[in-house]
Amino acid sequence: MVPEVSILNEKTAEFTLTAACPACGGDLRLRLSPEGARSWCPTCHLIGRPRVGFGPDGLVVVPDGQAQA
Ligand SMILES: [Zn+2]
């Protein structure tokens, strides 16, 4: 499934991962910028730092909202 990506400017993109929140199972908003990736859940307001990379099938996102070190 390919998420719908909206490009905010030439360096920042934002998209939504359906049912990807590790805390509540809701939709997760992801923002990719030169500073890195941030995720935000509009349902439970969980903020995470997902790992984002490119795999053989395209963009790979590993949501990591757990506040465990
Ligand atoms: Zn959530």
Domain range holding 47?
A: 5-62
Q: What is this structure's pTM? A: 0.68
Q: How far is the CA of 65 from the centre of ligand 1 (A)?
A: 9
* Domain-located, residue 68: no
The total number of structural domains that make up the chain:
1
What's the confidence (pLDDT) of residue 66?
53
Q: How far is the CA of 52 from the centre of ligand 1 (A)?
A: 19
What's the confidence (pLDDT) of residue 5?
78
* Domain-located, residue 69: no
Residue list, CB under 5 A from ion ligand 1? 21, 23-24, 26, 41, 43-44, 46
> What is each CA distance from 28 to 55, 56, 63, in whole angstroms?
20, 23, 9
Residue range 24-46: mean pLDDT, rounded:
92
Residue range 28-49: mean pLDDT, rounded:
91
Q: State pLDDT tens for residues 6-30.
A: 888 889 999 898 998 989 999 999 9
pLDDT band at 69 (very low <50, low <70, confident <90, very high): very low
| Dihedral angle computed from the Cα positions of residues 64, 19, 6 and 35, in that order, rounded to the nearest 10 degrees | -10
Q: How far is the CA of 26 from the centre of ligand 1 (A)?
A: 5
For residues 64 and 48, the answer to whether their CB atoms sit within 8 Å is yes
* Domain-located, residue 21: yes
For residues 28 and 44, the answer to whether their CB atoms sit within 8 Å is no
